[in-house]
């Protein structure tokens, strides 16, 4: 395997995927589709970085993207938007990735690997996973009409390798360290089954460069631990030396989101939004196929929290700075 393309090869999941592909799959050239030309962390060596060429992620020019994808064997698409706004939507994101899939097929890419979400469904009332499902459907149709192979990987959340990379868990710990009360939406019994970023990278590599000639694999990317929300945040509280009482409220997600707004005002960030909570409390953040033998072999969420608990939540990590203010070196 010589050449791949990754949306965000220097960002979070993409950076670990880049490292894994270079070390384990003989990849010698990586096209980084991104505005970011500086890694968010320094885990990549100078030799690794020399194999990466950055191209603008311009969804408005399919011709330009297709030209940049010429000679690429596998295209890994991890692109999405976390938050909807007045100027951007999850539906718009689904149309962008559709354009990228079409450009890859036109360029003669052998396989496309797309990062979706557990329990993505066109019937979902939640915009995030409804439009992930639409992107999946578009990929299947493009594969059928052009012959390009594809795989779909479905995480519900990603953690590791370091505390400041795991924004949601780190910032939860930040709040737990500093407030007397940590309120959970609903009854706190919904489960969460995230995957370690290195396991995510290994799975994407396996389904892409490791099996270029196969098509149609659609698998959950989940770890072995699936705690209830109240169990997870109590565990973080204990290991991060938090001071909060973790309590279910039976309140709707919209109320909890509003109660978190003072933190947003202080940090200039968005700690969480209603979509984040909706997906968690409705049980959509667990594997659809719990019998997948690969799940139990992956890294443990609980063990990771124990290992990094002393650092988890020491500082707040802004998702806006991390993913929207690129090339800051943060």
Average pLDDT per consecutive 10 residues, the chain (330 residues; last block may be shorter): 88 93 92 76 79 88 93 96 88 97 98 98 95 98 98 96 92 95 92 97 96 96 97 98 95 87 85 84 90 94 97 90 53
* Whether residues 99 and 180 fall in one domain: no
Residue 329 placed within a domain: no
pLDDT at site 319: 80
Residue 31: φ, ψ to 5°: -90, 120
Residues 105 and 248 in one domain: no
Verify that 204 and 254 share a domain, yes or no.
Answer: no
CATH assignment at residue 215: 3.40.50.720
pLDDT at 1: 61
Q: Is residue 330 part of a domain?
A: no
CATH of the domain at 266: 3.90.25
Q: Say whether both 145 and 242 belong to one domain.
A: no
- pLDDT given for residue 38 in this prediction: 65
Is the same domain home to 92 and 233? no
Q: Using CA atoms, how far apart are residues 261 and 258, in angstroms rounded to an integer?
A: 5
165 secondary structure, DSSP code: G
Cα distance between the two ends of the chain: 32
* Contact present, 79 and 112 (Cβ < 8 Å): no
The answer to whether residues 248 and 267 belong to one domain is yes
In a domain, 273, yes or no: yes
What does the block give as tokens for 111? 């396989």
Q: Is 136:114 a contact under the CB 8 Å cutoff?
A: yes
Residue-level pLDDT at 330: 34
pLDDT for the residue 204: 98
pLDDT value, residue 327: 43
Of the candidates 221, 237, 268, which is a domain's last residue?
Answer: 221
- Domain range for residue 110? 3-158+194-221
Give the list of residues 6+ apart from residue 259 with CB closer than 8 angstroms, or none.
Answer: 183
pLDDT at 239: 98
pLDDT of residue 280: 86
What is the total residue count of the chain?
330
Q: What is the pLDDT of residue 326?
A: 46
By the 8 A CB rule, do 88 and 29 touch? no
Region of residue 55 (left: phi > 0; alpha: psi -120 to 50; beta: else): beta
182 φ, ψ to 5°?
A: -120, 110
Residue 90 token pair: 């999850």
- 138 and 38 within one domain: yes
pLDDT value of residue 126: 93
Q: What is the dihedral of CA 162, 312, 285, 200, to 10 degrees?
A: 10
Residues 76 and 182 in one domain: no
Instruction: Answer yes or no: do 65 and 114 share one domain.
Output: yes
- Domains of the chain: total: 2
Judging by beta carbons within 10 Å of its beta carbon (0-12, 13-18, 19+), is residue 300 exposed, middle or buried? Answer: middle
199 shares its domain with 286: no
User: Are both 147 and 270 inside the same structural domain?
Assistant: no
Q: What is the pLDDT of residues 171-217, one digit of tens each?
A: 999 999 999 999 998 899 999 999 999 999 999 999 999 999 999 99
What pTM, to 2 d.p., does this model score? 0.93
81: in domain = yes
Q: Is residue 305 part of a domain?
A: yes
d(CA 86, CA 191): 31
CA-derived radius of gyration, the chain: 19
Nearest to 263 by CA among 149, 204, 182, 162: 182
> 136 and 152: one domain?
yes
Where does the chain show beta strands of DSSP type E?
3-7, 29-33, 52-55, 74-77, 111-115, 149-155, 158-159, 181-184, 195-196, 217-221, 245-248
């Amino acid at each position: 395997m010589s050449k791949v393309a990754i949306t965000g090869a220097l960002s979070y999941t993409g950076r670990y995927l880049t490292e894994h592909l270079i070390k384990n799959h003989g990849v010698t050239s990586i096209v980084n589709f991104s505005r970011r030309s500086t890694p968010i962390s320094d885990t990549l060596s100078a030799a690794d970085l020399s194999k990466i060429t950055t191209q603008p992620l311009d969804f408005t020019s399919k011709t330009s993207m297709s030209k940049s994808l010429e000679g690429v064997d596998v295209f890994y698409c991890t692109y999405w938007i976390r938050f909807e706004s007045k100027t951007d939507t999850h539906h718009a994101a689904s149309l962008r990735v559709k354009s990228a899939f079409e450009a890859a097929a036109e360029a003669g890419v052998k396989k496309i690997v797309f990062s979706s979400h557990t329990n993505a469904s066109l019937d979902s009332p939640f915009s995030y996973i409804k439009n992930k499902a639409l992107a999946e459907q578009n990929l299947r149709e493009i594969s059928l009409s052009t012959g390009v192979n594809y795989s779909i990987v479905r995480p519900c959340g990603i953690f590791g390798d370091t505390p400041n990379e795991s924004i949601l868990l780190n910032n939860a710990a930040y709040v737990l360290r500093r407030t007397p009360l940590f309120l959970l939406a609903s009854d706190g019994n919904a489960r969460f089954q995230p995957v370690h970023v290195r396991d995510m990278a290994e799975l994407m590599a396996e389904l892409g460069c490791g099996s270029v000639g196969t098509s149609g694999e659609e698998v959950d990317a989940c770890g072995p631990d699936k705690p209830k929300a109240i169990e997870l945040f109590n565990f973080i509280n204990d290991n991060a030396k938090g001071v909060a009482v973790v309590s279910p409220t039976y309140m709707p997600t919209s109320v909890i989101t509003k109660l978190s707004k003072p933190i947003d005002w202080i940090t200039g960030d968005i700690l969480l939004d209603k979509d984040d909570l909706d997906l968690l409390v409705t049980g959509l953040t667990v594997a659809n196929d719990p019998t997948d033998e690969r799940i139990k072999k992956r890294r443990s969420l609980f063990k990771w929290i124990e290992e990094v608990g002393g650092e988890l939540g020491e500082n707040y990590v802004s998702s806006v700075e991390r993913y929207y203010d690129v090339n800051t070196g943060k």
